[in-house]
């Protein structure tokens, strides 16, 4: 049985998910189909619970993404109180992907990592300072570099 979850997400996250997981745009927002073996599919499957009665789902506001997935059991539903946590986990997937890609190029080329961040954003058609504040994205990578340097200092000390 095909089931759907509609989440309210930031614009940059919507564009990233559509580009990364091969989604599509519709008049109601972005649509994304995930398999059970994918990372998002595993998250949905792990959190789904047995609900014998229909559950009222809150209407999302703003930019939305609809995730469709397959579930054999009709009474297994993704709980509405976990929508916020799923959105935060999707944001963590974005952050991890951005850090891994920028780190790979930054370690080889060196220099300013802002250029590499812009290349990552351009790949997913995310407009800096329109869809997301560019300094916020730079801070994600800068904080990562700071954590790594602290770990290295502890190892050497």
DSSP secondary structure string, 58-75?
Answer: PPP-SSEEEEEEE-S-TT
Taking each helix axis from N to C end, the angle separating 114-123 and 134-156, rounded to the nearest 10 degrees, works out to 130
pLDDT in tens, 67-88: 999 988 888 899 999 999 999 9
Average pLDDT, the chain: 92
Sheet holding 24-26, edge to edge: 2-8, 64-70, 29-33, 24-26
- Angle (CA) 78-56-70 rounded to 5° is 35
With a CB cutoff of 8 Å and minimum separation 6, the contacts of 53 are none
* C-alpha 82: how far from chain center: 15
Helix (H, G, I), strand (E, B) or coil at 152: helix
pTM: 0.91
pLDDT tens for each residue of 91-109: 999 999 999 999 999 999 8
CA distance 68 to 131: 24
| pLDDT tens-place string over residues 109-132 | 888 999 999 999 999 999 999 999
Q: Which tokens belong to 43?
A: 């998250």
Going by C-beta distance under 8 Å and a sequence separation of 6 or more, which residues neighbour residue 105? 116, 119
Per the DSSP assignment, residues forming a β-bridge with 49 are 77
Q: How confident is the model at residue 48 (pLDDT cuts 50, 70, 90)?
A: very high
């Amino acid at each position: 049985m095909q089931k759907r979850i509609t989440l309210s997400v930031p614009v940059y996250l919507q564009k990233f998910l559509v580009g990364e997981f091969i989604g599509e745009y519709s008049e109601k927002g972005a649509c994304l189909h995930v398999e059970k073996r994918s990372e998002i599919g595993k998250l949905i499957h792990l959190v789904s619970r047995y609900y014998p009665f229909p559950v009222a789902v809150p209407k999302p506001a703003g930019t939305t993404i609809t995730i469709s997935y397959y579930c054999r059991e009709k009474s297994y539903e993704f709980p509405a109180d976990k929508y916020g946590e799923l959105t935060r986990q999707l944001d963590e997937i974005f952050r991890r992907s951005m850090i891994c890609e920028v780190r790979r190029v930054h370690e080889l080329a060196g220099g300013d990592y802002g250029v590499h961040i812009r290349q990552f954003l351009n790949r997913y058609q995310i407009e800096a300072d329109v869809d997301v504040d560019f300094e916020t994205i730079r801070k994600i990578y800068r904080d990562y570099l700071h954590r790594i340097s602290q770990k290295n200092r502890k190892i050497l000390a």
